[in-house]
Amino acid sequence: MNENRVAIIGIGMTKFGELWDYSYRDLITEAGIKAITDAGIEGEDIQELYVGSMSPGLFAGQEHIGALVADYSGLSGIPATRVEAACASGGLALRQAFLSIKSGRNDIVVAGGVEKMTDVPTGAAMMALMGAGDEQWEAFQGITFPALYALMARRHMKEYGTTLEQISEVSVKNHYNAQFNEYAQFRFEVSLEEVMDSPPVAEPLRLLHCSPITDGSAVVILASEKKARELKDEPIWISASALATDSLALHDRKSLSRMDSVILAAKKAYKQAGIEVKDIDFLEVHDCFSIAEILAIEGLGFCKLGEGGILTEEGQTKIDGDIPVNPSGGLKGKGHPVGTTGISQAVEATLQLRGEAGKRQVKDAEIGLIQNVGGSGATCVVHILSRG
């Protein structure tokens, strides 16, 4: 038995959406209190804090996030660090907390994510988000993230014959799942026709292929094996944490139709966990645009490159399919407060493994994988969680 196993013992999350009555600090405080209560611990038990937040200075006019979150969580005095990796900030915060315990340095560590994106005009939000791309070769030239993912979609369609209908089925499925998620921003279904007829954003992507601008926060509390067994009868274990990177600029990639950072991080994660692709029962992946879910399931090894659209069209990624993908509703249905997303994926995976996901529960869920991407794939963080 690994003496330094790491478990999730507490989870907390706010509703996602346009939360006008919440401040940045309100969001992280609410999620943190929920997580501490769920873990059954006191604030003084926490030894360290990592918080993922992509661009609080531009979104909310607030920097110095580590100290702020510690202060408003009643944890002033402990080491507190803000972690940033664009839209993968939450996943990286989870990894840093995992490594803190894995090293033997600490027994109870908090990983949180928070973003307040709706307090600035849409144009300002888009400018902040483009900080996740290459400023010199992409943002300065006027390209946006919908356009970057549109390039990837076009190339995938050309190389593999992926259709707009297949990409659109991702949105249909994730909206269907989101209606059962009390935290989700968009709790309603959409039809295939509604997705395909929605306004164009960057051809071939339509409005309903794109994740929204979102406010929200999520927190998980991690513990060493000894502490976890003292506090929980059935803690949820993190059996792998892997990080990989690729070039920041899309034009420097070896291919536009795949994400090499995803492929590399997945291989590392499977090796760490000592499992194979077939052992995974469900996925929470980074569908910032619907094409990204197709790229994710291919890169993670659930089908050959180019077959993700077919897998989706056949219904294999539905909750009752062979490999359920994004039972939470994903970024498209649940929402995408960028620094929070990686942590919210861990919250969903924990609910699934506890059997507490309600009408979106994946049957007999034992092992789940979460995949969090920064930018257009320059960063990818993969975690594998399990019941045993």
**CA 263 to CA 265: how far, in whole Å?**
6
Are residues 194 and 110 part of one domain? no
1 in a structural domain: no
How confident is the model at residue 101, as a pLDDT?
98
Q: Is the domain of 148 the same as that of 23?
A: no
pLDDT score at 3:
62
Q: Which domain holds residue 375?
A: 143-207+237-386
| Domain total of the chain | 2
369 part of a folded domain: yes
Q: Are residues 117 and 242 in the same domain?
A: no
Identify the pLDDT of residue 281. 98
Does 183 lie in the same domain as 230?
no
Same-domain check for residues 153 and 254: yes
Low-confidence ranges of the chain (pLDDT < 70): 1-3
> Has residue 83 been placed in a domain?
yes
Closest C-alpha to 216, from 26, 27, 83, 5: 27
Establish if 299 belongs to a structural domain: yes
- Orientation of helix 24-39 relative to helix 65-72, angle to 10°: 60
User: For residue 50, what are the β-bridge partners?
Assistant: 81, 111
- 218 and 252 share a domain? no
Query: Per-residue pLDDT tens for 123-139?
Result: 999 999 999 999 999 99
Q: How many C-beta atoms surround the C-beta of residue 63 within 10 A? A: 14
Q: Are residues 241 and 354 in the same domain?
A: yes
Residues 224 and 194 grouped into a single domain:
no
Tell me: do 184 and 166 sit in the same domain: yes
CATH number for 17: 3.40.47.10
Secondary element (H or E) of residue 381:
strand 379-386
Residues with Cβ within 8 Å of 267's Cβ and at least 6 positions away in sequence, in order, are none
Are residue 361 and residue 230 in the same domain, yes or no?
no
Position 137 in a domain: no
The yes-or-no answer on residue 87 being catalytic is yes
- Rounded distance between C-alpha atoms, residue 324 and residue 290, angstroms: 15
303, 336, 380, 383: the catalytic one is: 336
Give CA–CA dist 346/352, Å, rounded.
10
Half-sphere exposure of 364 (CA within 13 A, CB side): 6
The span from the first CA to the last CA of the chain, in angstroms, equals: 12
Q: How far apart are the C-alpha atoms of 283 and 352, rounded to whole Å? A: 10
Q: What is the pLDDT of residue 388?
A: 85
Question: Both 184 and 225 in a single domain?
Answer: no
The answer, as to whether pTM is greater than 0.85, is yes
342 contacts: CB under 8 Å, gap ≥ 6: 52, 88, 89, 90, 91, 92, 93, 94, 113, 370, 372, 381
336 is catalytic: yes
Domain-embedded: residue 57: yes
pLDDT tens readout for residues 98-123:
999 999 999 999 999 999 999 999 99
d(CA 328, CA 308): 19
Cα 238 to Cα 226, 228, 242, 267, distances in angstroms: 14, 12, 11, 16
As a whole number of Å, the CA-based R_g of the chain is 19
Coil, helix or strand at residue 358: helix
**What is the rounded CA–CA span in Å between residue 165 and residue 170?**
9
> Is 133 domain-assigned?
no
| 246 domain-assigned | yes
Residues 70 and 170 in one domain: no
φ/ψ of 243, rounded to 5, equals -130, 135
